[in-house]
Structure 1
């Protein structure tokens, strides 16, 4: 009995000691629990500072676009929305397991390389892609593939904060202008208002409305598509319903913008030109956007009642996948160290390239361009300010040339000293339909240069409006090259920016009417003769 009593006392004493003094495992667990968040916070802050240092110019450009371009004014909300969406998924990320991955290091390295290329080429679209890849790579490296997959949509949603490449935006805007004009005229005619359309011009009789680029509907399309993507993500139902919801945003924005133009036409007829300007114009735009949002919400409600709804996902991780506390999260890993070192290297490499400016060669101004070219006599013309503001060139030439024996030819040259930040030539292929001209044929021809025995290629378009018929020749002079393809222009632009630090260039366009009694062949001959005279003369004004 005494032996048993002594054993019980020893057990009790051991228990008291265990309660009074934590075990070594307990001490390590507490240290781990408190050190993990601190290390993550410090590493995260350091990474944010390094990204800010490396992408200072990129972020400044994106924010400037948000502030100055109404098409992207919704961009301020995107990072906030993404942060909230990721925070809502924190338990799912922890439940999936935080396992640092070297794949993220690879993605981050590719993003950093793109930044250097983008800065050398002075192309913002490459720098934007680089910033997104670095953010995704950092997430993947720190949290691993499974945890990153849990926030795949928020990370992808970040892309909606970046401006589109200018060429894509120009083509999209031109197409939407025509569609909006057609819808607007259709709405006016539907309610009995006499209206006719020539391209982007709506004729109301005594008043004509010009559907300019700002009225194309992009100001509704971009934010509405971003909003529809968010609604589709939060709308927990069948995939086809979510796809339908997002897809409906595009025709909805175009249709409502057309109705808005029709309403403006009615108000202009009733109250005068002021109804299409100032506060009224701004207010009408906001009304359309609010109506679009309400329709999206109504569509969600309607879709939720159609067919069988998908099972609602749990707001917390599934049973058996309990979210792990920070004590179970790795405090540090070699991949995180490499990521921070890579970010440090990217930031250091980007500093010497920051503010890199294009080389703009010296040139003669178009004010000095000869108005007499081997018997062709020119009359200079002045372009309206609204078109000058839209085209954003650095210098231009607009003149009508004619001889006593030949019909007139209109010469237009738009010169850009730098084409890196959205200032680039608008292709006539997208601009001509806006003036009411229908492009009936478009091909490529060879133009002979009699002065230097040199030939070059040019685009030839035949355009028609009613009975009027014209032939257009145009090409792009990009440094020492003559290019006819818009996409090839962008490719050479990137290469020359990278290797020569130059992005200057020009669009050259010749237009000749097909005169009564004249066939296309005679007009072509007249155009090609004049083009052969103009091209060598341009070298002093558009440097090689």
Structure 2
């Protein structure tokens, strides 16, 4: 999906626009928003195609207290036949009207000791979507280890890569649908002897497999 031309403006203009839209949303709908019913993310299948969950990584209470997500999962899946593994993190927020919103991996991962080495966007064709979704592609490194990260923000109406665009559409959706629920989805594949391209291909393949399942599980 192409974005309006003003999305290329400075951050100052972005923030001015967002503050203005938030004020409009507040005064237009003072009675609040419709909070969707949501199923626990733990219901996500442990077997998705050839990918099988091998680890359900607990999220530490202090991390959860910082993120303030209404639900979250952190899992490791493997495709034994392809000798592939992928880490999946999903955080769901039932409302952003209180100021709580997803933390960008560009902030969280460096805080965990990972150094960003490359950042870009890429299109991924996923089942059930007429056109490719745009996701963030992020290469991180810690010592000799490196990983390919794909992440995006997912709502019932769209997938957005850009953080500022996600905030813009949050205001638009609050006006149009009376909802601000969103999810942060992150896929990480470690780079091994096969190289970065192979890790990226694995991340894309896993994203293509997990996307329809997440679309069904998350509130519509």
Distance in structure 1 (CA, Å) of the matches to 2:27 and 2:212: 33
Does the 8 A contact of 1:365 with 1:395 survive in 2? yes
Max Rg structure = 1
Does the 8 A contact of 2:125 with 2:131 survive in 1? yes
Task: Tell me the SS of whatever aligns to 2:152.
Answer: strand
Q: Does 1:423 align with 2:100?
A: yes
Structure 1: segments with no counterpart, 5+ residues: 1-112, 122-352
Superposed CA offset, 1:465-488 (max 9, x none): 110010100000023110001111
Does the 8 A contact of 2:22 with 2:171 survive in 1? no
2:26 alignment partner, one of 111, 115, 118: 118
Tell which has more relative contact order, 1 or 2 (C-alpha 8 A, sep 6+): 2
Q: 1:425/1:115 Cα in 2 relative to 1: closer, same or farther (>3 Å)?
A: closer
How many residues get paired? 198
Does the 8 A contact of 2:59 with 2:73 survive in 1? no
1:488 alignment partner, one of 165, 172, 177: 165
Distance in structure 2 (CA, Å) of the matches to 1:505 and 1:494: 12
Distance in structure 2 (CA, Å) of the matches to 1:364 and 1:408: 26
Deviation at 1:116, TM superposition (A): 5.8
Does the 8 A contact of 1:364 with 1:540 survive in 2? no
Q: Does 1:393 align with 2:69?
A: yes
Q: 1:116/1:455 Cα in 2 relative to 1: closer, same or farther (>3 Å)?
A: closer
Distance in structure 2 (CA, Å) of the matches to 1:527 and 1:115: 39
For 1:458, the equivalent position in structure 2 comes to 135
Distance in structure 1 (CA, Å) of the matches to 2:133 and 2:125: 7
For 2:156, the equivalent position in structure 1 comes to 479
Task: Tell me the SS of whatever aligns to 1:449.
Answer: coil
1:530 alignment partner, one of 206, 213, 218: 206
Deviation at 1:398, TM superposition (A): 1.1
2:56 alignment partner, one of 370, 380, 384: 380
Does the 8 A contact of 2:25 with 2:171 survive in 1? no
Structure 2: segments with no counterpart, 5+ residues: 1-20
Deviation at 1:430, TM superposition (A): 1.3
Pairwise mapping of residues 48-87 of structure 1 onto structure 2 (< 5 A)? none
Deviation at 1:498, TM superposition (A): 1.4
Q: Give the root-mean-square deviation of aligned CA atoms.
A: 1.9
Does the 8 A contact of 1:471 with 1:524 survive in 2? yes
Q: 1:472/1:410 Cα in 2 relative to 1: closer, same or farther (>3 Å)?
A: same
Q: 1:115/1:464 Cα in 2 relative to 1: closer, same or farther (>3 Å)?
A: closer
Task: Tell me the SS of whatever aligns to 1:377.
Answer: strand
